A = this chain, B = another copy of it.
Amino acid sequence: MQLSGDYNGGRARTPGTVGELGEFGLIRQLTSRLTTTPAVRIGPGDDAAVVAAPDRRVVATTDILLEGRHFRRDWSTAYDVGRKAAAENLADIAAMGAFPTALLLGLVVPAELPANWPMELMDGIRDEAQVASAAVVGGDVVRGATITVSITALGDMRNREPVTRFGARPGDVVAFTGWLGWSAAGHAVLSRGFRSPRAFVEAHRRPEPPYHAGPAAAGLGATAMTDVSDGLVADLGHIAEASKVRIDLRSADLDVPAQMSDIGQAVGVDPLHWVLTGGEDHALVATFPPDAKLPARWRKIGDVLAPSAQPQVTVDGAAWEKAGGWDHFGSGEES
């Protein structure tokens, strides 16, 4: 089966279901949508891909997303799910201070799923990879009951040392770049049946991690770094624990946009809670030596202190309630 001439928003539609296309037809169509980069030495279609790793080390991470748990087809298009699934893996590469190079996709799809869904998913993954200068180099597709998107991202350090979670030292400053709480505010809007304000709904559907800021932070001497996937307090907790330090955030430095405050008022939630505990925006948060010159897009929000009793992360010197982040086994809700 060939791509039909029936276009939708610039993207070719594929008629029928994935079951009608068959495994090899689906793989052929998915592969035909991909683009490549000079780093890709052997792309999809062989037993394995071969990707340049000029640094002589490869950075690698994997995440697995399920329909109903990590995304909903009535809230997000396939294209958005693809962008988001790619983004969260690419952000993990950037959070090591590395440059993304390649993605691999493992995909489970029901036979009765419209064939257009995986095609648009692939478009989303491809386009987000391109934002980060990476390419999809391989994958696997199988039939199953629940749509499952498993992505592995690879990256290259370009002769910098990886920025881990265990290098923060007392006296360092804490800073972030990107977005905090936007996805959570969008989730709050969507879960109450609304579709606006659009900026927050869009942020929930399609995060925009600041990929290039990861290697830049490594170049600026970041001592520890992570991306905010579970929530600022929770993810800084991982740095605090790994680095054996305490981290104190200043709420006055955490910008709450006026529109986010409006949503908070409308739904009865302190918007600072979204900023401190909302995941999925994939901001980058890092610790830097006190004399580091941070570019304008990094915002200082706290300090690294000597270790003390729990909690390891405080806000204005005190614990932030309900700041545990997501435990993906603790709740049946879409998160």
Q: List A residues at the B interface (Cβ < 8 Å).
A: 18-19, 21-24, 26, 41-42, 45-66, 69-70, 92-93, 95-96, 98, 102, 104-108, 111, 137-146, 148, 150, 152-155, 157, 162, 164-165, 225-227, 242, 327-330
26 contacts between A and B (CB under 8 A): A22-B327, A23-B327, A24-B327, A42-B164, A45-B165, A46-B96, A46-B165, A47-B165, A47-B225, A47-B226, A48-B61, A48-B92, A49-B59, A49-B61, A53-B53, A53-B56, A62-B139, A62-B152, A64-B106, A64-B142, A64-B148, A65-B142, A104-B152, A106-B150, A146-B146, A148-B150
Indicate how many identical chains form the complex. 2
**Closest chain B CB from A305 CB (angstroms):** 22
User: Contact: A50 with B329, CB < 8 Å?
Assistant: no
- Chain B residues near A137: list those with CB within 8 A: 60
- Chain B residues near A105: list those with CB within 8 A: 62
Docked Cα-Cα span, A65 to B107, in Å, equals: 10
Q: Given A51-B60, A58-B58, A145-B145, are A66 and B227 neighbors across the interface (CB < 8 Å)?
A: no
- Chain B residues near A45: list those with CB within 8 A: 165, 242
Q: Taking CB as reference atom, which chain B residue is nearest A61?
A: B48
User: Contact: A48 with B57, CB < 8 Å?
Assistant: no
User: Contact: B162 with A92, CB < 8 Å?
Assistant: no
- Chain B residues near A63: list those with CB within 8 A: 106, 140
- Chain B residues near A26: list those with CB within 8 A: 329
One of B46, B56, B146, B330 near A144 (C-beta < 8 A) = B146
- Chain B residues near A154: list those with CB within 8 A: 58, 60, 154
Docked Cα-Cα span, A46 to B225, in Å, equals: 9
Docked Cα-Cα span, A57 to B155, in Å, equals: 11
Docked Cα-Cα span, A246 to B2, in Å, equals: 26
Docked Cα-Cα span, A138 to B154, in Å, equals: 12
**Closest chain B CB from A54 CB (angstroms):** 6
Docked Cα-Cα span, A140 to B64, in Å, equals: 7
Q: Given A143-B329, A144-B146, are A59 and B48 neighbors across the interface (CB < 8 Å)?
A: yes
User: Contact: B61 with A328, CB < 8 Å?
Assistant: no
